[in-house]
Structure 1
Amino acid sequence: MTPAEVLAGLVRDVPDFPELGVLFKDITPVLADHAAFTVIVEGLAAAGRDEHGRSVVDKVVGMEARGFILAAPVALALGVGFVPVRKAGKLPRETHGVSYALEYAEATLEIHQDAVRPGDRVLLVDDVLATGGTASATRELIDRCGGTALALAVMMELSFLPGRAAIGDLPLTALTTI
C-alpha cells in the first residue's frame, strides 16, 4: 500500500476543530495502525535519503506537536538525531525564537540554540503543510543555529492554502496532496 492510499483510508476529517471553519485532519488512526504508521515513516524518511538509500541529513527536526510524533521515528529510520521545535516557553535552556502566522492564529516557535550545529544538514518533518508559516519559521530557526534545511517532508499538503509558496525553494515531499 502506498502512503497516499494509507492516508486516504485512515485520516479522518473533523469539522470546526479547533475552531469554527477549520477542517482538522485527525491522524491518530494512522498512528494506531502499525503497518500504516510504518509506511508513513518510511515515506517521510525517503526525503532524507539519497538514491542509494543512505541518509544525507545530520538531524531531523519535528515541529510541535504532531511533527514530534512523526519526526522521532523518521530520525531513527535515518540513523540521526531528533530535534524538537517547540512553542514558546517549553524548552528549558537558551533558545532562538521566531513568531509567525498560522492558518487560524499566531504563534512563536523556539529551538535550543545548540540543538543544530553549524553545518548540520536538516530534514524538517511535520504532519500537514497548510499556510507554510510553521515550516518557514522552523527553517529560520535552523538558519539561526547555523544549519541548513535540506528538505521538508509532510504527510499531507493542503493545496488550497499557500504553503508551497511560503516555503520558497525548500524541496517538499508530501505523501499526499489534498
Structure 2
Amino acid sequence: MLNKYKLLVVAGVSSIISLGFAQMPASADPLSGLTNMLNTINRAVGSVDSTVQQLDGTVKNVSGTVDNLTRTLGLQSRGSGGSVSEADTTKQILDIYQEWYKQLNPPEQEIISWLVMEFARGREVTFDTISSTEWFQQKPLQEQQLIGSLVFKLNEITKASANEKDRFLTYAFCVNSGSSNCNP
C-alpha cells in the first residue's frame, strides 16, 4: 500500500519539476525561480509524507483495536501480519464476536442476545441504562456483576464495529440464532 504512495510522490515531484522548468521566466535572478520551485516541491513532499504517516498510524490503530478487543474478551491474540484494510478489520471483529459468543454459556448468550436486540432497536445499551432497569435490580449481586461485564464487553465490540453497525447486527443475529452459516 505504501509503495503506491511512493509512486505517487515520485510522479508528483516529477510533474512539479517539469512544470517549474517549463514556466520559469527569464529574470535578473535566475535562481529565484529555482528556489520557489524547490520550496513548492518541499511542501508537496512534506504533505505526502504527512499523509503516509497518517495512513501508517491508521493501520497501527486498526491492528491495536483488534488486539485490544481480543484481550478484553479474553480470547487468543491474533497477529495481524501485513497490511490491514478496513474491510479486513470488520471481518476480524465479526470473527472475534462469533468466537467470543460461542464460548459463553447459554445464560450469558441469552443476555448478549437481548443486549444486541436492544442495540438494534436503537436503545442506548450502557451499564447505566441496564442497571437502572427492574430486570437488572432483581438479579443477585453476582449475576449483576456478570451482566455488567457482558455489557462492557459488548460495548467494546459495538464501538469497534461502529462504522458498519448494520453489518455487525446482521452477523450478530445470525450467530446468536445458532446458525453455522453466518457470513461475515
Specify if TM > 0.5: no
Sort the TM-score into its range (normalised by shorter chain).
Answer: under 0.3
Structure with greater proportional helix content: 2
Structure with greater proportional strand content: 1
Whose radius of gyration is greater, 1 or 2?
A: 2
**TM-score when normalising by structure 1:** 0.21
**TM-score when normalising by structure 2:** 0.21
